[in-house]
Amino acid sequence: MAKPKRRFVCSSCGSVTNRWQGQCVDCGEWNTLTEEAPATVFSAKHDLSSGGRAISFEPLDMPGRALVRRSTGIDEFDRALGGGLVPGSAILMGGDPGIGKSTLLLQASASVAKAGGTAVYISGEEATGQIRLRAERLGVASAPIKLAASTSVRDILTTLGDMEPPALLVIDSIQCMHSDQIEGAPGTVSQVRGCAFELIRYAKENGTALVLVGHVTKDGSIAGPRVLEHMVDVVMAFEGERSHQYRILRNLKNRFGPVDEIGVFAMEGHGLAEVGNPSLLFLSGRENTIAGSAVFPAMEGTRPVLVEIQALIVRLQSGATPRRAVVGWDNGRLAMLLAVLEARCGLNFSSAEVYLNVAGGYRLADPAADLAVAAALVSALAEKPLPREAVWFGEVSLAGEIRPVAHAGLRLRESAKLGFAHAFGPEDKSLSGKNGAARETGGRHTSVQLLPNLVDRILGGE
């Protein structure tokens, strides 16, 4: 009989090779290849076309159970989930070490339990005493959570099988779970996949909302095979700069609702506090009269968040290569914008160092930030502060045109609400017309069609 082939699987990206290497050829990570148990040799005569049970087909419009979501008791968490927990769904929550995953889930479990649902919290990483201490600090020690420390999926499922299925089951974390059916140490690809599969099956069969905590790798993706992300219904990332107070819970995949919804929290001594109005968090302490500062109404899903963009230009006397440093925005995009400002507007940045920062440690991914960044750069170069009440949004093309962006009305309304009444952006009938959003909010919208027009306005001091 032929020797079964050896398989080595990368624990970072899940790719398979048949010999061990120090570095994974697919994702470039070091020391991530581990040997998996050999796959069963398939007989060539294997025939699956008979011997099975007939399955029945169903029409699409059969009346079924309506989707009833259960609130986690934390509005920002519900919002990020798209309206609350769906019974029988599996949620994978990733995040950097120490960002607050266990804290958030303990708070959510406590409010589910207090509202009368059964909440089971299984920790594989911390002892129950440690979690009790945290619960005391968070002020939720009296909540009737069913708490246990275990890493054995068999033990967990046996216990759950003997009780009424819980409304919420938290597994903290999936990387330390272990199934005795599968070979390998906890955290290996086959273990993570196998344990997740069993737990998800339990959740689907019993209508339990399951939350799996997942570790993340250096580059921020959830550790373990990508396939874990395919297996679950919802993937969420808990983000934030550890040096800053705020945390953002972002929805990356959602089978029951929109993605890109966010929940915003602030990490405080007594746990995670909800931030109902994140704009205030990012704009607090802003000095209005400084050159190089522009306010941008960013969109996070369907939610506008006002952030401050700061630019600093330092002229170099020597012929040294000037530095460009960006925090919170895309490096390539800054290079492009500088090139457009040079080529289309005749500004000279080539002998100047350019620093760009998004205040509050916020990371911008919205392409509409172009205009705000351009305004901050021009203002910094000219050393002229921008108008106090202005916000800027729009995408800049290579030709220097300002392109329309999504949700202009929402951006304008949120800005006006916070006292930023003058919006500069692309031409948009829905904003500036007679019944436009600008008039409705009592604000003003100035359309900017070309980047040179904007530069003239700023340099002209209007």
Ligand X SMILES: Nc1ncnc2c1ncn2[C@@H]1O[C@H](COP(=O)(O)OP(=O)(O)OP(=O)(O)O)[C@@H](O)[C@H]1O
Looking at this protein, which amino acid is placed at residue 385?
Answer: P
Residue 457 exposed, middle or buried by CB count within 10 Å (0-12, 13-18, 19+)? middle
- Report if residue 214 touches ligand X, rule: CB under 6 A: no
Compute the least distance from the CB of residue 113 to ligand X, in Å: 18
> Which of 102, 188, 251, 415 is the binder for ligand X (CB under 6 A)?
102
Residue 138's nearest CA partner among 111, 120, 99 is: 111
> Which of 51, 97, 346, 442 is the binder for ligand X (CB under 6 A)?
97
Element (H, E) at 94: strand 90-95
The beta strand positions in 231-283, using DSSP E, are: 234-239, 246-254, 262-268, 271-274
> What mask of x and - would describe binding to ligand X in positions 45 to 84, judged by CB under 6 A?
----------------------------------------
Element (H, E) at 423: strand 422-425
> Which of 79, 81, 94, 101 is the binder for ligand X (CB under 6 A)?
101
Element (H, E) at 293: strand 293-300
> Which of 14, 73, 95, 328 is the binder for ligand X (CB under 6 A)?
95
- Report if residue 100 touches ligand X, rule: CB under 6 A: yes
- Our CB check for ligand X shows the closer of 273 and 459 to be 273
Report CA-CA distances (Å) from 271 to 239, 262, 280, 423: 16, 18, 20, 37
DSSP conformation class of 322: P
- Report if residue 98 touches ligand X, rule: CB under 6 A: yes
Q: Which stretch binds Mg ion (CB under 5 A): 95-103, 185-193, 324-332, 380-388?
A: 95-103
Q: Which stretch binds ligand X (CB under 6 A): 45-53, 62-70, 96-104, 431-439?
A: 96-104
Q: Structure tokens of 103?
A: 């804290």
Which ranges of 308-367 would DSSP assign to H, the alpha helix? Answer: 331-345
- Our CB check for ligand X shows the closer of 138 and 290 to be 138
- Report if residue 359 touches ligand X, rule: CB under 6 A: no
Q: Structure tokens of 46?
A: 């294997």
- Our CB check for Mg ion shows the closer of 102 and 118 to be 102
Q: Which stretch binds Mg ion (CB under 5 A): 72-80, 94-102, 220-228, 333-341?
A: 94-102
DSSP conformation class of 57: P
The site partner of 267 among ligand X, Mg ion, none (C-beta below 5 to 8 Å per kind) is: ligand X
Buried b (16+ CB within 10 A) or exposed e, 281-307: bbbeeeeeeebbbbbbbbbbbebbbbb
- Our CB check for Mg ion shows the closer of 130 and 284 to be 130
Q: 214 - beta bridge partners?
A: 94
Q: 308 - beta bridge partners?
A: 295
> What mask of x and - would describe binding to ligand X in positions 109 to 148, judged by CB under 6 A?
----------------x-----------x-----------
> Which of 12, 102, 379, 441 is the binder for Mg ion (CB under 5 A)?
102
Residue 373's nearest CA partner among 451, 317, 319, 430 is: 451
- Report if residue 388 touches ligand X, rule: CB under 6 A: no
Per CB under 6 A, which of residues 256..295 are in contact with ligand X?
267, 269
Interacting residues toward ligand X by CB under 6 A? 95, 97-103, 125, 137, 267, 269
